[in-house]
Amino acid sequence: MMLTLYRKPTFEQFIETCTPLAVIEPLEVEIRQRIDSIAAALLTFQPTDDPLENLTRFLQADKNFLGIVLALTNLSQEKFLRILTAERFANDDYGQEWNIDRVGSKLRSDPIFAERIARLYS
């Protein structure tokens, strides 16, 4: 049996044979609007001198800010939710597993919970 190695295509050959991604204008507009909204919220955030208070307030300020913190710390939502589940189990809370929307709501409505989450990063 003979192994045949083919030459690597040039960049031009690759471009000629690849299938371009489709641009869906309504989706593009929606994504641009979401990014603009997040950027505007980030620009209005006023930090304080206390890092823990900053992060607590940051997590409460906007529903998208938890996602920003998770992305910056390279922690997936799934792993983050597992950490919360482990903490809840350690506190004898065996209720239904939370989803990211519930966590976001709790962050914005419960300052003590928001501070507990902020302490995970301090």
Taking alpha carbons only, the member of 122, 114, 120 closest to residue 65 is 114
Whether the CB-CB separation of 94 and 111 falls below 8 Å is answered with no
Q: How confident is the model at residue 20 (pLDDT cuts 50, 70, 90)?
A: low
Q: pTM above the 0.75 mark?
A: no
**Mean pLDDT computed over 23-43:** 90
Taking alpha carbons only, the member of 35, 56, 33 closest to residue 45 is 56
Place of tokens 């966590």: 103
pLDDT value, residue 108: 94
Question: Residue 75 above 70 pLDDT?
Answer: yes
User: What percentage of the chain has pLDDT greater than the value 70?
Assistant: 98
**Mean pLDDT computed over 104-116:** 95
For residue range 9-18, list pLDDT tens digits in order.
Answer: 888 888 778 7
